[in-house]
Amino acid sequence: MSGTSLDGIDAVLVDLSQPKPLQLGKYYVPFDDALKNALLALHLPVHNELHQAQIIGNQLARMYAAAVAPLLAQAKSSNQKIKAIGCHGQTVRHCPEHGYTLQIGNAALLAELTGITVVSDFRSRDIAAGGQGAPLVPAFHDKVLRHTDIHRVIVNIGGISNLTNLPPHAATSGFDCGPGNLLMDAWCMQHLGKPYDSAGAWAASGNVLPPLLEQLLAEPFFTLPPPKSSGRDLFNLTWLQNKLEGNERAEDVQATLLELTCRSIALAIQKYCSGATEIYLCGGGAHNKTLFNHLAVLLPDNRVKTTNTLGLDGDYLEAIAFAWLAQQALHGKPANLPLVTGAKHPCILGAIYPG
């Protein structure tokens, strides 16, 4: 998995033969600044973008392949024992309103380099069936994190935040809430030269700017009813800068961006997950102590924890989800939830490249 945060590649080896996934190994490959900037550039029209997308897609495939060997060595396993690689690829455009989403990464090259079957392009079929193509992880959460009697909500805070609503005796739902880490990370890089605000310490040093927060929350996306999804096509530094007067203290803007992430998540839970008692966070945002603690304040009727307390590594949960999605494809089983994505019917997701 390499997601909207553009921080790097999460590789995980997982045994899915039991009801609860067993994580056998994990490996992380960071993106360097040159690759991050190249990927960011592809989110907007640039000169020779088709050629650039293919070249960078090949680079990503080689990086994905380079993560396989140390991952397998760590788990004392081999290529021959692996059923498949589930590879999400790197999203550079997400435009379901125009009938497409684009993830690059050259799955054919990845299969060639590793000798392992690769399943990729998970989102396109859902969009073809009239859906948003995202979020896809709620189907996995439904499979492994649902409780028969307790109303849980799983909140993944990556570049974008999304939630999965798991009410007992009722259908699973879910949707994107809005920006997770991506605006905070971008603002931190611009002003501190750091890829993220460690533990939210910089945000904690500032003060929320109510007029700015009001402007940010006025974005129509926040009041759209589900199903809905979003990405860098909407939430980016240009979007933010168009709402700034220019004389704000940088730390106050950071505090306001953290408030935006927390408020959009809390409002979504309060509006669409009535009766929930347990909130479990995963993704990089779960490490942001300021964010974690503020969410707990905004949701006083809920116990806020991380998915690690349920025995599933929150840093690699999305990667595990795409392993499960790959398994579903190989078994010819649908893996989308139409109530979540808005698709007309359940679909088998993914294109298969034999190893």
Return the domain boundaries, the chain.
Answer: 8-132+316-353, 146-310
Fold (topology level) of 8-132+316-353: Nucleotidyltransferase; domain 5 (3.30.420)
Q: Is 8-132+316-353's fold the same as 146-310's?
A: yes
Tell me the pTM: 0.95
Residue 46 has a pLDDT of 87
The DSSP code for 152 is E
The pLDDT assigned to 284 comes to 95
Quote the CA–CA distance of 157 and 259 in Å, as a whole number: 14
Write the CA distances from 78 to 25, 83, 109, 141, 316, integer angstroms.
12, 11, 19, 28, 21
Under a CB-based contact definition with an 8 Å cutoff, are residues 269 and 300 in contact? no
- What mean pLDDT is reported for the chain? 97
Write out pLDDT tens, residues 33-74. Answer: 999 999 999 998 889 999 999 999 999 999 999 999 999 999
- Asked if pLDDT for residue 257 goes beyond 90, the answer is yes
CB 151 within 8 A of CB 335: no
With 0-12 / 13-18 / 19 or more C-beta atoms within 10 angstroms meaning exposed / middle / buried, residue 205 is: middle
22 near 30, Cβ under 8 Å? no
Read off the amino acid at residue 215: Q
Run of H or E residues at 138: helix 137-144
Q: pLDDT at residue 212 above 90?
A: yes
Domain 146-310 in CATH 3.30.420.40? The answer is yes
- Structural element, H or E, at residue 280: strand 278-282
Averaged pLDDT, 296-317? 96
**What phi and psi, each to the nearest 5 degrees, are found at residue 336?**
-100, 160
Q: What string of H, E and C letters represents the secondary structure of 76-129?
A: CCCHHHCCCEECCCEEEEEEHHHCEEEEECCHHHHHHHHCCCEEECCCHHHHHC
Are the C-beta atoms of residues 162 and 337 closer than 8 Å to each other? no
Range 193-217 average pLDDT: 98
Task: State the Cα–Cα distance between residues 64 and 286, nearest whole angstrom.
Answer: 25
Asked whether the beta carbons of 209 and 256 are under 8 A apart, the reply is yes
- The number of residues making up the chain comes to 355
Q: What is the mean pLDDT of residues 189-212?
A: 97
For range 85-105, the mean pLDDT: 96
Which of 18-22, 165-169, 202-206, 266-270 is the least confident region?
Answer: 18-22
Whether residue 13 is predicted with pLDDT greater than 90 in this model: the reply is yes
Exposure on the CB side of residue 332, measured as CA atoms within 13 A: 0
